[in-house]
Chains A and B, each alone.
Chain A
Amino acid sequence: MEFKESFWAKTRFVPNAAYMFLMTLMIFAIFSPSFLSLMNLSNIMLQSSMITIVALGMTIVMLSNGIDLSIGSVMSLTGVVTGLLLASGSGFVLSILGGIGVGVFCGAFNGIMIAKVGLAPFIATFGMMGIADGVSLFAAGGETLYWEETKFHVIANGHFLAVPMPVWIIIGIFSIMYFILYKTPFGINIFALGGNEEGLRLSGVRIVRNKIGIYILSGIIASFAGIMLASRIASAHPTGGFGYEFEAIAAAVIGGTTFFGGRGGLVGSVFGALIITLIRNGLSLLGYTTPWQYCLIGIILTVCVTINTFYTK
């Protein structure tokens, strides 16, 4: 039996984004030698951790031909809920569980709106974005929350075997997502929903169940990101996650995943997140401020998508 253009091989194939990442790295290194220092590189890894996490979740949703605009707001809400629990002395474990519960709940709500009520994903998650924002602001009383529990800060700031915790968390989430996508029937359904939803339905698969599952998964990942954010800055701000959904989309798109579903992969999104962080980091080091970063990200996004589009033609 022969092996030709294997489906798996194509996605294990090194994505364009990896090459773009290396190229960007080289370009910045030319301008500023200190860019390649170990400290800076590990800084970049750390800074990219949040975007990477949300990008992984967004990739899965996009593969199924959906979108989740509520990721940023769910992040904020998770931070607020976790913060409230921590401040009230509920302890490390319970607070984290509470935070994840937020993700499950919001994701389930999104999934039900989309799969059962039949709303377009754009609209449903857009509405959830507003709802979650509102609830965050209300619950936090419009202020930033602080707490005394210190074990919590280990999540974002600690180390294990000399590797920062966030990196471990990313490795963990990536492995789980990879496993789900490529080794379970649920993963196949995700790809199939992006490729031919009607075909999947005609094959007897319960579409509603699977779609709800996808958005719950996205919600859980968003809440992980929210917990990490709260841990990193040791506080919870009701709009802390603002804008992350768009970063996630940018990272996924740079990585090769498109809205037509079914293509691209998790690896690409990781590189996409790294590229975005790289640009921000590199430009700051070189003394260029946020506006330049904005411009450059816009250009890079366009360039990457163009390359990806031509590659797949």
Chain B
Amino acid sequence: MKFLIPYSRILILLALCALISFFSPHFLQTSNIINILRQAAILNILGVGMTIVIITGGIDLSNGAVLALSSCIAAILLKDAGLPMPIGIIAALIIGCCCGLINGAMVAKVAIPPFVITYAMMFFTRGLAFLFLQGKIIYGFTPEFRFIGTGYLFGVPMPIIISAMVTIIFIFIQKYTPFGSEIYAVGADEEASMLSGIRTKSVVIRVYILSGILSALAGIVYMSRLNASEPVIGEAFPLDAIAAVLIGGTPLSGGEGGVGGTVIGALVITIIINAMNLLGISSLLQTFVLGALIIIMISVQSHSRRLFSLPSIFSANRNGAGS
């Protein structure tokens, strides 16, 4: 159980910022920095959920779709049915919870590979989102609701505050609570954990539920910021969130890493995209650059430490070490 203090990663982040600011003086302007932090906020919230799932050795491809579904339902309740804000928010969180529950139960009880069930869930929830919204876009929410995404608290934009709170809570959980250490244990060696008395199935289910709830939370912030909700949102999110987690140092094989690293990962991705925009790099090239950078960063990481490996799609090759 480690709180991954990615000193090296923070340094890389700072070096990256320094490099970019050399090319584009706008980069370090306060307004831009706040912009970056705000854009990274949603990715961060999703990333936190993805991190704990990945630490247990699983993965959640459905977070974008759950985000869409929960925000669509919230939108219908808030706008069409005119219900008060707390009801909409709670409804969204409940949807996220239910989706997560199904995911977790399938993984834990039926032993369906996480990749498959969350992928199926992705299809299913996205379809539901379309069905509920009947192809419309809902927009125009109350000012109170819009405050979540666009308001400021003590001069700091709300999304940043929400994202920071989520991060702090989960860092606390992973470092100081028994649940946190159980998450790492299950990811590192499920059988040993079970034999030690840890309720591994319960841990797995809870982790997916949390991911679902966080996806819903991200959905609320997102739709509040856009002031609109439609079924297509969030398609790129699962892969972006996974990238943030991986860059942040949590390996797909699970058992180590942490939320702290994911924050850095989310920042790195957002900064690179922001920088590319500032530098006028066409969006055509952006995908290319992002893909190449992710490969480079992760190769560098996996060579600078020894990964435990089981031959699987989720972990890199072993580099020696026996007895």
CA of A128 to CA of B291 in the docked complex: distance in angstroms? 7
Q: Are A130 and B292 in contact (CB under 8 A)?
A: yes
Distance in angstroms between the alpha carbons of A118 and B179 in the assembled complex: 32
Q: How far is the CB of A304 from chain B (nearest CB, A)?
A: 9
Chain A residues whose CB sits within 8 angstroms of the CB of B112 once the complex forms:
302, 305-306, 309
Taking CB atoms, residues of chain A closer than 8 Å to B239 are 126
* Contact in complex: B291, A302 (CB < 8 Å): no
Interface residues of A in 255-304 (CB under 8 A from B): 258-261, 289-299, 301-302
Residues on A with beta carbons closer than 8 Å to the beta carbon of B311 = 65, 193-194, 197-198, 261
- The reply to whether the CB of A170 lies closer than 8 angstroms to some CB of chain B is no
By a CB distance below 8 angstroms, the chain A residues around B115 are: 249, 259
Assuming A138-B284, A292-B127, A301-B116, is B110 touching A123 (CB within 8 A)?
no
User: When the two chains form their complex, are residues A67 and B295 in contact, meaning their CB atoms are under 8 A apart?
Assistant: no
A301 near B120 with CB under 8 A, answer: yes
Interface residue total, chain A, C-beta cutoff 8 A:
55
Contacting residues, chain A, for B288 (C-beta < 8 A): 130-131, 133-135, 138
How far apart sit A70 and B285, CA to CA, in the bound complex (Å)? 17
Does any Cβ of A come within 8 Å of B286's Cβ?
A: yes
Q: Does B290 touch A at the CB level, under 8 Å?
A: yes
Q: Is the CB of A123 within 8 A of B252?
A: yes
| Chain B residues closer than 8 Å to A193, beta-carbon distance | 311
B113, B125, B286, B303: the one contacting A118 at CB < 8 Å is B303
The reply to whether A291 and B116 contact each other, CB–CB distance below 8 Å, is: no
Q: How far is the CA of A113 from the CA of B127 in the complex (A)?
A: 36
| Of the residues A122, A132, A133, A197, contact of B313 by C-beta under 8 Å | A122
Interface of A is mostly: helix
Q: Which of B54-90 contact A (CB under 8 A)?
A: none
Is the beta-carbon distance between B292 and A295 smaller than 8 angstroms? no
Contacts of B126 in A (CB 8 A): 291, 294
Contact indicator per residue, chain B 240-255, by CB within 8 Å of chain A (1) or not (0): 0011001000011100
Residues of B within 8 A of A123 (CB): 246, 252, 294-295, 298, 316
User: Majority SS of interface residues in chain B?
Assistant: helix
Q: How many angstroms between the C-alpha atoms of A114 and B311 in the bound complex?
A: 12
What residues of chain B lie closer than 8 Å to A66, measured between beta carbons? Answer: 313
Chain A contacts for B314, CB-based, 8 A: 120, 122
Residue of B nearest to A242 (CB): B235
- B239's nearest neighbour on chain A, judged by CB, is A126
Within 50-98 of A, Cβ neighbours of B (below 8 Å) are at: 65-67
Say yes or no for B299: interface residue by CB 8 A criterion.
yes
- The interface centre, meaning the residue of B290, B298, B311 with most chain A CB atoms within 10 A of its CB, is B311
Are A137 and B312 interface neighbours, CB within 8 A? no
Q: Using A126-B242, A293-B127, A301-B116 as known contacts, list a sample of 14 further A-B pairs with CB atoms less than 8 Å apart, ordered by residue number in A.
A: A114-B317, A118-B319, A122-B252, A123-B316, A128-B291, A132-B291, A137-B287, A138-B288, A260-B113, A291-B231, A294-B130, A298-B127, A301-B119, A309-B110
Task: List 24 A–B pairs whose Cβ atoms lie within 8 Å, in order of A's numbering.
Answer: A115-B317, A118-B319, A119-B299, A120-B314, A123-B252, A123-B294, A123-B316, A124-B295, A126-B294, A127-B292, A127-B298, A131-B295, A132-B291, A137-B287, A193-B311, A194-B311, A249-B115, A249-B116, A250-B119, A250-B120, A291-B130, A294-B123, A297-B124, A302-B120
Query: What residues of chain A have their CB less than 8 Å away from a CB belonging to chain B?
Result: 65-67, 113-115, 117-124, 126-135, 137-138, 142, 193-194, 197-198, 246, 249-250, 253, 258-261, 289-299, 301-302, 305-306, 309
By Cβ-Cβ distance, the 8 closest A-B pairs, closest first, are A130-B291, A134-B288, A294-B127, A298-B124, A291-B130, A295-B127, A127-B295, A298-B123
